């Protein structure tokens, strides 16, 4: 049975934004610090570090989860997606990210990466979301700047655009 | 806020979990989804020497029903249970209570049994288990079942021994002629409950369980009373719960909520019966 000792660092291998990565972590290292400090992926933010604010939300095996409530060693073999993996290619934004820009759904941007990762999942699971359900879902995130209204507008706009059939080439 | 050092065991069999718990006792903590343990570790309210991860044990990730009860394994997440198509039909009280547990973003990894193990006095899952008179299946090298009413022993403390883990929670299924209701009041949805109530109405009477007030969820059984008799019973219950003032609400506000939310929940359960 694998027992990883507290004093040492251990190899953790997983998929990050579709690519295999491996790095070393002590058992006590949080996934937030593993992503930001060890792997240099600073798109995932850290607010409260105890599960309340949602700034650190990433997708683990396809569902939104708090990176600050996850140990790096727990994600061995998992698929992790962060905000760096949202754009279809470098220099391009996803439909949801575009909608955030259009609606000014961010001001300081501290909460944004987490909210994007949550909504990216939610709009795929619920292509035609009701406003009340979206509000309820956004309740898992704190934003101190926007008052949430533009975030909601961006999410509804993105949902509508994602439902439109793709234009013929 | 970083956890203190600990060893990490990625258990591959139940016997391995039991062996670590037997050897390390109170210095070991089981981790499943980590949604309550991680804050405890980060704030250093818990400083285990070893953390045992049980999420790789497929036998713990099962929801099994036999018509009488459903058995929810220790690795079953709250989201997995919410998405279980049989839930609303078999255990309507849980279907009503689960959306109040944390947020979608924590239910994705938080487990049903993890919430029971943590035994927060305002948590919804312990309240639902108590209201339904469910049981916990604890295992070490031995195995035993403990009724919810005996499991929760005080503020975040339970009857689990240091060498035991919660292997499953057993929730009784909906019974014919019974009505179930769950209501909660908090500052915002997803916050801890200031008062939460779960009620079961049946032909002979009612059962009301209240969370968020005493140091653990508490239940009372009544005959089929109504009107002033029910008001008196709720008033007495509210006083017996020994409410305290805190940042979120005063004791008298909480007692007031027990009376009003208690009655509303009972009435809703009665309507569901009809
Ligand atoms: S930093 Fe993880 S929820 Fe706030
Ligand atoms: S944009 Fe500043 S916290 Fe949300």
Cα–Cα distance between B36 and B118 in angstroms, integer? 7
Interchain pair B38, A57: CB under 8 A: no
Tokens coding B81? 């249970």
Residue ranges around ligand 2 (CB below 6 Å): A 106-112, 143-146
Give SS3 for B17.
helix
CA distance A95 to chain B (A): 22
CATH topology for B180-271 is Enolase-like; domain 1 (3.30.390)
Report whether residue A49 contacts ligand 1, using a CB cutoff of 6 Å.
Answer: yes
Upper half-sphere CA count for residue B47 (Cβ side, 13 Å): 7
- Which chain A residues touch B102 with a CB distance below 8 Å? 140
Q: What is the residue-wise DSSP string for B201-268?
A: EETTEEEEEEESSSSS-EEEEEES--HHHHHHHHHHHHHHT-----SS--HHHHHHHHHHHHHHHHHH
If you average pLDDT over residues A71-97, what whole number do you get? 96
Give SS3 for B117.
helix
Cα–Cα distance between B47 and B19 in angstroms, integer? 20
Give SS3 for B77.
strand
Interchain pair A1, B11: CB under 8 A: yes
User: Mean pLDDT, chain A, as a whole number?
Assistant: 96
pLDDT in tens, A131-141: 999 999 999 99
Is pLDDT at A169 greater than 60 in this prediction?
Answer: no
- Best to test chain B binding among A8, A13, A26, A28 (most B CBs inside 10 Å): A28
CATH 3.30.465.10, domain B59-172, yes or no: yes
B240 touches chain A (CB under 8 A): no
A58, β-bridge pairs = A65
Tokens coding A50? 């105890």
Cα–Cα distance between B239 and A139 in angstroms, integer? 33
Q: Apex CA B264: angle with CA B214 and CA B122, to 5°?
A: 25
Is pLDDT at B94 greater than 90 in this prediction?
Answer: yes
Interchain pair B105, A26: CB under 8 A: no
pTM of the predicted model, to two decimals?
0.95
If you average pLDDT over residues B12-35, what whole number do you get? 97
pLDDT in tens, B63-83: 999 999 999 999 999 999 999
- The whole-number pLDDT of residue B192 equals 83
Nearest to B168 by CA among B75, B240, B41, B65: B75
Cα–Cα distance between A94 and A85 in angstroms, integer? 10
Which numbered ligand comes closest to the C-alpha of A142? Answer: 2
CATH code for the part of the protein at B7-53: 3.30.43.10
Report whether residue A111 contacts ligand 1, using a CB cutoff of 6 Å.
Answer: no
- The whole-number pLDDT of residue A168 equals 67
* SS3 readout for chain A: CCEECCCCCEEEEEEECCEEEEEEECCCCEHHHHHHHHCCCCCCCCCCCCCCCCCCEEEECCEEEEHHHCEHHHHCCCEEECHHHCCCCCCCCCHHHHHHHHCCCCCCCCCHHHHHHHHHHHHHHCCCCCHHHHHHHHCCCCCCCCCCHHHHHHHHHHHHHHHCCCCCC
- Which helix (H) or strand (E) element contains residue B143? strand B143-147
- The whole-number pLDDT of residue B272 equals 93
Please tell me what DSSP assigns to residue B27: G
Q: In angstroms, what is the span from residue B239 Cα to ligand 2's centroid?
A: 43
* Mutation choice for ligand 1 from A68, A83, A140, A143, CB with most ligand atoms inside 8 A: A68
Task: Classify strands B50-53 and B28-31 as parallel, antiparallel or unpaired.
Answer: parallel
- Which chain A residues touch B1 with a CB distance below 8 Å? 49-50
What is the pLDDT confidence band of residue A165, given thresholds at 50, 70 and 90?
A: confident
**Contact yes or no for A7/A29 (Cβ under 8 A):** no
ipTM above 0.90, yes or no: yes
Q: Where are the domains of chain B?
A: 7-53, 59-172, 180-271
* Mutation choice for ligand 2 from A56, A97, A110, CB with most ligand atoms inside 8 A: A110
- The whole-number pLDDT of residue B190 equals 75
Tokens coding A47? 């607010």
Please tell me what DSSP assigns to residue B5: P
Report whether residue A52 contacts ligand 1, using a CB cutoff of 6 Å.
Answer: yes
Nearest to B151 by CA among B219, B57, B65, B102: B219
Domains of chain A by range and CATH? Answer: 10-85 (3.10.20.30), 95-163 (1.10.150.120)
Tokens coding B187? 């500052």
Interchain pair A26, B79: CB under 8 A: no
What is the pLDDT confidence band of residue B247, given thresholds at 50, 70 and 90?
A: confident
Q: What is the residue-wise DSSP string for B51-70?
A: EEE-TT-GGGG-EEE-SSEE
- Which chain A residues touch B104 with a CB distance below 8 Å? 64, 118, 122, 137, 140
Task: Classify strands B143-147 and B28-31 as parallel, antiparallel or unpaired.
Answer: unpaired
Q: In angstroms, what is the span from residue A69 Cα to ligand 2's centroid?
A: 21
């Amino acid at each position: 049975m694998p027992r990883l000792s507290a004093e040492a660092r251990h190899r953790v291998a997983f998929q990050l934004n579709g690519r295999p990565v491996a790095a070393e972590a002590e058992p006590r290292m949080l996934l937030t610090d593993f992503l930001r400090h060890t792997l240099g992926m600073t798109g995932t933010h850290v607010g409260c570090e105890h599960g309340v604010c949602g700034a650190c939300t990433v997708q683990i095996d396809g569902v939104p989860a708090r990176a600050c409530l996850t140990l790096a060693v727990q994600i061995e073999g998992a698929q992790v997606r962060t905000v760096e993996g949202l754009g279809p290619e470098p220099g391009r934004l996803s439909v949801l990210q575009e909608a955030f820009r259009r609606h000014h759904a961010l001001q300081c941007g501290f909460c944004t990466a987490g909210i994007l990762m949550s909504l990216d999942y939610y709009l795929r699971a619920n292509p035609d979301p009701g406003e009340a359900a979206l509000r309820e879902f956004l309740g898992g995130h704190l934003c101190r700047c926007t008052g949430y209204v533009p975030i909601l507008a961006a999410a509804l706009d993105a949902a509508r655009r994602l439902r439109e059939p793709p234009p013929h080439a | 806020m970083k956890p203190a050092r600990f060893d990490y065991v990625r258990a591959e069999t139940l016997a391995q979990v039991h062996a670590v718990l037997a050897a390390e006792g109170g210095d070991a903590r089981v981790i499943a989804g980590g949604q309550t343990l991680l804050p405890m570790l980060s704030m250093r309210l818990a400083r285990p020497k070893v953390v045992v991860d049980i999420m790789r044990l497929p036998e713990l990730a099962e929801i099994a029903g036999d018509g009488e009860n459903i058995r929810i394994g220790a690795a079953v997440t709250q989201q997995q249970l919410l998405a279980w198509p049989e839930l609303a039909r078999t255990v309507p009280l849980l279907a009503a209570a689960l959306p109040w547990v944390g947020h979608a973003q924590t239910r994705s990894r938080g487990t049903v049994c993890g919430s029971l193990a943590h035994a927060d006095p305002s948590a919804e899952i312990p309240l639902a288990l108590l209201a339904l008179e469910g049981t916990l299946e604890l295992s070490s090298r031995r195995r035993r079942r403990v009724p919810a009413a005996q499991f929760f022993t005080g503020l975040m403390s339970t009857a689990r021994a240091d060498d035991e883990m919660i292997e499953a929670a057993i929730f009784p299924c909906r019974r014919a002629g019974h009505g179930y209701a769950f209501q909660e009041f908090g500052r915002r949805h997803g916050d801890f409950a200031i008062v939460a109530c779960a009620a079961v109405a049946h032909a002979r009477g009612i059962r009301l369980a209240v969370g968020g007030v005493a140091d653990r969820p508490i239940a009372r059984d009544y005959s089929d009373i109504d009107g002033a008799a029910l008001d008196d019973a709720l008033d007495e219950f509210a006083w017996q719960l020994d409410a305290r003032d805190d940042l979120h609400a005063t004791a008298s506000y909480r007692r007031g909520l027990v009376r009003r939310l208690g009655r509303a929940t009972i009435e809703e359960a009665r309507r569901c019966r009809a």
